[in-house]
Structure 1
């Protein structure tokens, strides 16, 4: 099919998008899924599911995550197209809700990628918006698009007392920063913490695996992870941030014993049933932005 019929944000038909825009959105969708796989494949990740073990989880495996990724492939395509078409936040939200339903069907009700649906979905829409505006794709342009087009609505709904998600409950109980607040501010944890950490390690020549480890630990040291609050409360959250900060302060992956220390942290989190899933979602977003802007995938 040579052209795509897109919807105007108010529901009216707009000028068909050229095939090269369709292919651009298909590429962005592929990068989003690859970034989720990159996060899954990374090891050691303290408390998190990987290809090696299930971390602190008894209800999910790497296979569960792979099924979820396959279920989300077309979501990333459609939300990138929606962003390119100038979609409103309500339209993006509708796409996200439908994607979450597909994810839960694919995983038999297990939440593998709810955070990624939100975070990578918004970033995909922002990348589509940059494409429509003819903007050079860069981390700054992507972040600016999120804030300019959907930041106000995200900020207005940053605390939704009616939602029953674990993250929302933790947000209300512990005043932890939630995903919507991150989105309203243009994902500062991605653009100011995780991505710079990844780029510093790559610039030092330590390779992509170590760069992703450093990005993950930097995120764990920085964010208020509602996944951790749900499982471990305030003490669990302090434990995660403290251990991550020690890892970073000792040089991260530049230290000769970095892998042994990361493995020790992993075992400690598993014993305590702690799982920094919010940091994992943001690591996927870091990998996605880096790849979308021309970096190594």
Structure 2
């Protein structure tokens, strides 16, 4: 199912008049939507240090084609995790689907970690989307209430770059973000998408740029910590905040200024991969929880990028 069709299937999560609860998207629609969000992240530029349709950023081992191939291979797994959650699966079962998705990703990319963080965070949001109801106002609240404790107590990936950086620098990392209901998505990424649409109402890519800069400025990104340490993180957050303070995507010449920041990240080999994952998640929660007509063109564009 295409991303655009996924939105048309259930564009506004209608209420069930008998129960007051919100009708859930089908697992297939959820999977298509999650994959579209990953594709939209790739189709965003300038995006400091990250792979895009324009260049490879700070990465020598991946490009846009690889990321699109990885995203496409994950669609059935996002649908599977939604279906499992809808059937009442516990965290162990959801984790098993995630591990299968990671194996598929590594097979599709020749061992390159393109979307491990997104499999975890976006996968949990897919599970929550299958259970959406009126008692839990956000997908993040659903994740935190239903699986937060299991996320905290579950097995970690002790040798991953992100886990090592989180331990060394005291960052909460992906597990802390998910267990607490994705505060960076709801406090930074999703509001910045709204702000970007206000500043540049006819340029959905601009809204995504606004969001990625807001996330870089406000998140202790463990990918940046791994590559650049505390000094690299401080530099990244400062430059992103300066871009926003000067008006973000609402200021004249914003794209050229954003491109200069991108070049600076590449020169330092900094890559805010955690923020890229959070951008995809921010797109997903906005599409599920508060879809707007302005989102339609974004997902049509993602379909064309396949």
TM-score bucket (shorter structure)? 0.7 to 0.9
Contact 1:72–1:99 (Cα < 8 Å) also in 2: yes
Alpha-carbon distance, 1:177 to partner: 2.1
Alpha-carbon distance, 1:201 to partner: 2.3
Label 1:137 to 1:284 Cα distance change in 2 as closer, same or farther (>3 A): farther
Matched, 1:184 2:186: no
Task: Describe how 1:216-295 pairs up with structure 2 within 5 A.
Answer: 216-293=212-289, 294-295=291-292
Alpha-carbon distance, 1:251 to partner: 1.3
**Which of the numbers 59, 62, 78 marks the counterpart of 1:76?**
78
Number of aligned residue pairs:
270
Matched, 1:142 2:139: yes
Alpha-carbon distance, 1:82 to partner: 1.3
Higher relative contact order (CA 8 A, sep 6+): 2
Contact 2:24–2:130 (Cα < 8 Å) also in 1: no
Matched, 1:168 2:163: yes
**Which of the numbers 56, 59, 82 marks the counterpart of 1:54?**
56
Alpha-carbon distance, 1:22 to partner: 9.9
Label 1:253 to 1:106 Cα distance change in 2 as closer, same or farther (>3 A): same
**TM-score (ref. length: structure 1):** 0.87
Three-state SS of the structure 2 residue aligned to 1:65 is helix
Q: Over the residues paired in the alignment, what is the CA RMSD in angstroms?
A: 1.8
Contact 1:49–1:56 (Cα < 8 Å) also in 2: yes
Contact 1:86–1:129 (Cα < 8 Å) also in 2: no
Alpha-carbon distance, 1:85 to partner: 1.4
The gaps in structure 1 that reach 5 residues or longer are 1-20
Contact 1:177–1:223 (Cα < 8 Å) also in 2: no
Equivalent residue, structure 2, for 1:86: 88
Three-state SS of the structure 2 residue aligned to 1:129 is coil
Q: Deviations over 1:184-226 (max 9, x none)?
A: 1100000111101111222345331111111110000010111
